[in-house]
Amino acid sequence: MSRMAHNSTHLIAPAGPYSHAVRSGEHIFIAGQIGRDPATGQFADGGISAQTACIFCNFRTLLTELGCSLDDVQSVTVYLARMADFTEMNRVYAENFRAPFPTRTTVGVHELPLGALIVMEMVVRAPADIRAAAYPRPQ
């Protein structure tokens, strides 16, 4: 099955050979995001809460461009540089989703890119009109 890549012009450009999002079939896979403000390129000031909130703002931007919303998210993976930040991350996370909640895995890691406190990635089920859209034919 083909994959259709999407890079947002409203987010910081990918720093490597990857896309912000890829649609394959009825799913959209959203690459890991860190809590950097696209306007400044700097981490959101205010620790784990601010970085988590910034990630959700960036996800909303990307999901809107893709014709989706947080209600379409099926699964989330969270990577934390410090598991001690779990409670505060979880508070901000809960403010952004409503029941029924997507599945979630949270993993503590030794280090994250650029010194980030958190990285989040998502799997989204594309709405029916997006799923029905044809993939571009190879040239």
* CATH number of the domain to which 24 belongs: 3.30.1330.40
Average predicted confidence (pLDDT) for the chain: 92
Q: How far apart are CA 81 and CA 109, in angstroms?
A: 5
User: pLDDT confidence of 132, banded at 50, 70, 90?
Assistant: low
Does the residue 62 lie in any domain? yes
- Per the structure, the complete domain to which residue 61 belongs is given by 4-132
Q: pLDDT band for 137, please (50, 70, 90 cuts).
A: very low
Q: Is residue 15 part of a domain?
A: yes
Q: How confident is the model at residue 43 (pLDDT cuts 50, 70, 90)?
A: very high
Report, as an integer, the average pLDDT of 87-104: 97
Residue 16 has pLDDT above 70, yes or no: yes
CA 116 to chain centre: 14
Given this model, what pLDDT does residue 134 score? 52
8 A C-beta contact, residue 21 and residue 66: yes
Give the chain's domain count: 1
Predicted local distance difference test score (pLDDT) of residue 138: 39
pLDDT at 130: 61
| Residue 114 backbone zone (phi > 0: left; psi -120 to 50: alpha; other: beta) | left
Contacts of 132 (CB under 8 A, 6+ apart): none
CB-neighbour burial class of residue 84 (10 A; exposed 0-12, middle 13-18, buried 19+): exposed
Domain contains 34: yes
pLDDT of residue 2: 76
Query: Percentage of residues in the chain with pLDDT exceeding 90?
Result: 84
Read off the tokens for 101.
């909640």
Strands 118-125 and 27-34: antiparallel
